[in-house]
Chains A and B, each alone.
Chain A
Amino acid sequence: MFRKVLIANRGEIAIRVMRTLREMEIVTVAVFSDADRASLHVRMADEAAWVGPSPSAESYLRIDRILEAARKHGADAIHPGYGFLSENADFAAACEEAGIVFIGPSAESIRRMGSKTAARQMAMAAGAPVVPGALETLASVDEARSFGARYGYPLLLKAVAGGGGKGMRRVDSDAALESAFRDAASEAERSFKNADLYVEKLIERPRHIEIQILGDRHGHMVHFGERECSIQRRHQKVMEECPSPLVAERAGMRERMGEAAMRVARSAGYYNAGTVEFLVDGSGDFYFLEMNTRLQVEHPITELVTGQDLVRLQMEVAAGAKLSLRQEEIAWRGWAIESRIYAEDPYNNFFPSPGKITRLTRPTGPGVRLDGCVYEGWNVPIDYDPLLAKLAVWNDTRERAIARMMRSLREYDVGGIRTNIAFFRQILEDEEFRRGRLHTGFVDEFLARCKPLQPPPELAAIAELVAAHHAKESTSRNGSIPAAPAAPSRWREIGRGEMLR
C-alpha cells in the first residue's frame, strides 16, 4: 500500500479523500493556492504544498506544479478527486511517467471516454443501448424522414457543429419535418457557418440515472448499482438519491443497467472507479450517455446504501491489489439522499454568495453524513465552485429518508453568506418529488409552479421581538456604535420572508 498520497484537489473532496487515507494510516499531502491557505483541507492534511496563485489555471490545473509538489514531498501516488485534473489524460500519463501512481484509470481509458462521439461508438460496439440516432450528417430531409418512420416521433434535429441549442429543432410529426429541417439548417448555417444536421430520437422527460463501477487491473469488475441524478439545474446535479425510485420498483433493471455499464467500461480497458451515465425514458428503457472516469461528487449515497468505502477500494486497486469484492457481496439497504449545499442565493437567481462564514451549526444525529469544507470564520473564496458541503442522509425507506433530510436541513445554519438550504426544503415538500416522478426538467418545472411560501405570522413576530432585543444587547455591550441610518423610524418589518418567492 502507498505510504504517502498527494491529493490534487481542494475543498470537500480533498477532505473526503484524506479521511479514508487517514483511516488507512497513509500520510496525506494537500496542495493549495493563495486563496486556500486557510482552507480546511490544508489544515487537516499532514503535509501541504503551495502550488500557485488563486486562479485554478495557475495552481490546481498546473500539471508541472502538482508533480513538483508530489516529488518534493515524496508522494507515492496522487488522488485527483473530481474536476480539475481528474479527467485529464495528459495528467494521468505525466504521473505514470514520473513514477507516481495516478489513482484512477489509465490515460488511455480517459482519452477514449473523453470524446462523446468516440465513447458513444464504443458503447454501441460493446452492445450497450444508445439513444437511437445517426451520428453521420443527414444528406437530405428524406433521410430524416426514414429515420422518423423507423424510430417514431418526436425526434430531434441537431447541428453537427452545434452547441447551446442553436440549430436544434424538435419535430413531432412527419408533416412538420420539412420546415423544421429548413429552419434548423439555416440557423446552423448562421450560427456555425455549417448547415449540416444529424438526427436523434427525442427522449421526453428523461431521467438521469448512473451506475457506479469499480475494477482492478486484473480484469475483475463490479458495479454498485445506480444513483438517480435527475434533480438538476442548468445541467448541474443538485440533489441525488440511491436507489432510483424507478429502478427500485422494476425487477432486474439494476442488474441490466449494471451489466451494460460494465460492458462499456470493459471495452475501454477500464480500471479503478468510474460512473456510466444513462438517460432513462418513461418506459424504463435506458440509453448510454457518457462515462465519467473519476470518483463522482455524489458517491457518498452509494457508500451509505452499500456500506462500502469507494475511496478505500480506489486505493487498493490503484496499489495493484486484486479486488476481493464479488458482485454477490454487494447489497443495497435502505435509501440515501444527498443535497449539494452551495454558497448561492436561490432567491436571487442562484447568484454566487462568497464571503465570510459568521455562524455555523451543522446537522448531526442519526443517519446524517456531512462532507464539507467550511468552518466558522472561513472566507468562501470567489475563485472556485461554490460547493460548501454535501449533506447526505440515510434511512430505511425513501419516505423516511426525505423526512430525515428535512430535519437535517432545519438543523443546518450557515450565517454571513446565502445558501440554497431553504430551496431543498421546498423541493422536498413538493408532491411530484415525493411521488418520485423525477426527470431532468424537474427543477425548471418546479420553479415555474412552486407557490410563494408565506412564513407563519408568528415567526415574523418572533423576528421582531428578537431584533428589538438584539438592538438593546448590542448597544449596552458594545462601545462602538454600529453604523446605521440616522433617520428615525419605528420598528418596521420589511417583510421578506425569504422562503417565499
Chain B
Amino acid sequence: MTAPQVEQVEPGVYSVLVEGRSYEARVEQVEGGVAVFVDGHRFEIEVHDPRRWRRQTGGREIAGRLNVVAPMPGKIVRLLVAAGDTVAAGQGLLVVEAMKMQNEVKAPKAGRVVSMTGREGATAAAGDVLAIIE
C-alpha cells in the first residue's frame, strides 16, 4: 500500500493517485463544510480541522483582528449583531441567502465586533469581508 498522492492542479481541483488509479475531485465551499464532486457524484463533508482553529489564534490575525468572509456568493438578508457587540464563538453574525437557502454566518471566535461591513439587502461574493472581530 502506497500513500495516496493528492495534488491541487487548479484552484479547488485535485488530482488523486491511489494505487495506480487516477481520480479528479472538485471542491466547493458550502455552509458548514465542503461539497466534493468526484465523477459527477456529490459528497457533502463537514469540515473541522483542529489545525485550522489553532491557526486562528496564531499569527494569521492582523493586530488581533479577524476578518469573517462570505463562504459563498449570496444576498445578505439579516444582520444579527451590530458593531460594538460582544459575541461568543459560534454565535450567528448575519444571515446570507444563496440559491433560496438561508445560511447563518457564525463568529469563528469570541470577541468584540469591530465592524459589520455587510449591509442588509446587499449581495456578497465569495470571499467578501462581512464582519471584523477582535
Contact = CB atoms under 8 A, between A and B. Distances in A.
Interface of A: 351, 353-356, 358-359, 409-410, 413, 415-418, 421-422, 425, 455, 458-460, 462-473, 475-476, 479-499
Given A416-B73, A462-B18, A481 B41 contact: no
Given A481-B56, A481-B66, A492-B45, A470 B34 contact: yes
A283 B69 CA distance: 62
A415 B43 contact: no
Contacts of B29: 482
B28 A467 contact: no
Given A469-B6, A489-B48, 8 more contacts: A354-B99, A417-B99, A459-B38, A475-B55, A481-B60, A483-B71, A491-B48, A494-B43
A499 B40 contact: yes
B114 interface: no
A160 B112 CA distance: 69
Contacts of A476: 55
B119 interface: no
Contacts of B60: 479, 481
Contact of B6 (A466, A480, A488): A466
Contacts of B68: 480-481, 483
Contact of B36 (A467, A484, A492): A467
Nearest to B43: A463
A343 to B, nearest CB: 10
Contacts of B4: 465
A215 B62 CA distance: 71
Contacts of A421: 40
B69 A480 contact: yes
Contacts of B39: 410, 459
A441 B92 CA distance: 47
A469 B14 contact: yes
Given A355-B99, A467-B36, A475-B52, A495 B43 contact: yes
Contacts of A485: 32, 46, 48, 90, 106
7 contacts: A358-B12, A459-B38, A463-B38, A467-B33, A486-B106, A486-B108, A499-B42
B46 to A, nearest CB: 5
A497 B43 CA distance: 5
Contacts of A472: 49, 51
Contacts of A489: 46, 48
Contacts of A497: 41-43
Contacts of A483: 68-71, 93, 105-106, 108, 130
A467 B69 contact: no
Interface of B: 4, 6, 8, 12-14, 16, 18, 23, 25-29, 32-34, 36-53, 55-56, 60, 62, 66-71, 73, 89-90, 93, 98-100, 105-109, 125-127, 129-130
A484 B45 CA distance: 12
A480 B90 contact: no
Given A358-B28, A495-B43, A467 B73 contact: no
B65 to A, nearest CB: 11
Contacts of B36: 462-464, 466-467, 470
Contacts of A466: 6, 14, 16, 25, 27, 36, 38
A345 to B, nearest CB: 8
A409 B39 CA distance: 10
Nearest to B11: A359
B56 to A, nearest CB: 5
Interface centre among A358, A417, A425, by most chain B C-beta atoms within 10 angstroms, is A358
A486 B91 CA distance: 9
Interface centre among A359, A416, A464, A484, by most chain B C-beta atoms within 10 angstroms, is A484
A355 B13 CA distance: 20
A494 B41 contact: no
B41 A498 contact: yes
A158 to B, nearest CB: 36
A263 B14 CA distance: 57
A421 B106 CA distance: 33
A298 B52 CA distance: 50
Nearest to B10: A359
Given A358-B126, A475-B51, A480-B69, A413 B25 contact: no
Contacts of B13: 359
Contacts of B28: 358, 415-416
Contacts of A359: 12-13, 26
Contacts of A353: 99
A490 B46 CA distance: 8
A388 to B, nearest CB: 15
Contacts of A495: 43-44
Contact of A463 (B45, B67, B71): B45
Given A353-B99, A480-B69, A467 B34 contact: yes
Contact of B42 (A467, A469, A496): A496
B49 A459 contact: no
A475 B49 contact: yes
B43 A410 contact: no
Nearest to A473: B8
Contacts of B14: 466, 469-470
A493 B43 contact: yes
B87 to A, nearest CB: 11
Contact of A415 (B12, B46, B53): B12
Contacts of A482: 29, 69, 71
Contacts of A465: 4, 6, 16
A409 B69 CA distance: 33
A413 B32 contact: no
A462 B38 contact: yes
Contacts of A458: 18
Contact of B44 (A479, A487, A488, A496): A496
